Amino acid sequence: MTLQECLDKTRKLINYYSISGNAVGAEDPAQQDYSFRAFAAIDTAQKELAARRPLVRHLSFTQHTLRPLDSLPGFQRIEGTRFLYAQGACAFSLLCDGNLTLSMEAESDGQWEILYSTSNTGNGQMTQLAWQADNGLIQPSTPVRLQIQSDGAFLADAALYTAFPQQEDIPILGARRFRALPRNFCRLLDCRPAGKLGRVMRTGFACVDAGKIGFPWDFDGVVQLEYTAYPETICENSDLTVELEVTDDAAEAIPFYTAAMLLTQEDPKLSEFFLNVYTEKLRALETVTGFRIRNELFGGYKR
């Protein structure tokens, strides 16, 4: 059900049951006020329903092996100058703490040309430094080096790569590789690699943090996710063609709750009737002990 369809069904409900037969006419001057209040009621109802009848969605991610062309793995202290060399390297990533300068350089006519340079000042925490060249700046046959200079800075997991995957966060060598989850992600139900490997690789395979999901560095293949979706907030600026993020049977209850909220002051008896119908529809969906419906427009609770 779309937002527009829900609004239309709400208006038809009120018009059908109203004594006057036309409580909310399309040309009614109060229509704008009804619409504004309706958006808030629809948002409240769909979130109530989504909490009790979650909308389950599926998603898949593909991750390919990311092999460093040259690296300084592990944790070490840098005294003086260190180099990483690789032909056609277009990106680097590392962790560091301390005063450090580095430059990405490409060889041209026997000379090293600086493509990118940066520095870091120690602050007691490991900081990620990373860079990727624009497409076409470095050819596959071009010799490239990463020059690292310091007098005692700490360095971890420095590496050169051909490129970083565009859909991922810039990775750290050996660490989890993170992807952004959908904005409406609520809770992860299941996550496993596709195929036979998924039967044994489940516990601890994925890590969800700050709206992102991370997979092991060396995993190569397709990951299948099953998760519950949390409804996007509906307001007066919402697109009327947007689908309500609840199951189809649960969506049928939303117009009754919306109508009840719109008539709380105008027609309390009809409002109570609609709220009772809404409650019965919820009970038909799922039996919840001690269930209460919160009236967020006017405060308090309705039973």
- Least confident window among 11-15, 21-25, 115-119, 251-255: 21-25
Bridge-partner residues for 298, per DSSP? Answer: none
Residue 7: CA count within 13 A, CB half-sphere: 24
Q: What is the pLDDT of residues 46-59, one digit of tens each?
A: 888 888 778 888 99
- Mean pLDDT score, 150-179: 92
Q: What local confidence, expressed as pLDDT, does residue 150 receive?
A: 93
Residue 302 binned pLDDT confidence (cut-offs 50, 70, 90): very low
Q: What local confidence, expressed as pLDDT, does residue 202 receive?
A: 60
Q: What local confidence, expressed as pLDDT, does residue 27 receive?
A: 53
Highest mean pLDDT among 64-68, 120-124, 295-299: 64-68
| Higher local confidence (pLDDT), 109 or 146 | 146
Chosen CATH of 67-164 out of 2.60.120.510, 3.20.20.100, 3.40.50.720, 3.30.700.30:
2.60.120.510
Q: What are phi and psi of 15, to 5 degrees?
A: -65, -35
**CA–CA distance, 257 with 276 (Å, rounded to integer):** 9
- Mean pLDDT score, 87-99: 94
Residue-range domain boundaries for the chain: 3-53+246-302, 67-164
Q: What is the pLDDT of residues 242-290, one digit of tens each?
A: 888 888 888 899 999 998 998 888 788 888 999 999 988 888 876 543 3
- Mean pLDDT score, 158-171: 91
Q: What local confidence, expressed as pLDDT, does residue 303 receive?
A: 41
Residues comprising the chain, all counted: 303
Q: What local confidence, expressed as pLDDT, does residue 222 receive?
A: 92
- Least confident window among 91-95, 109-113, 150-154, 289-293: 289-293
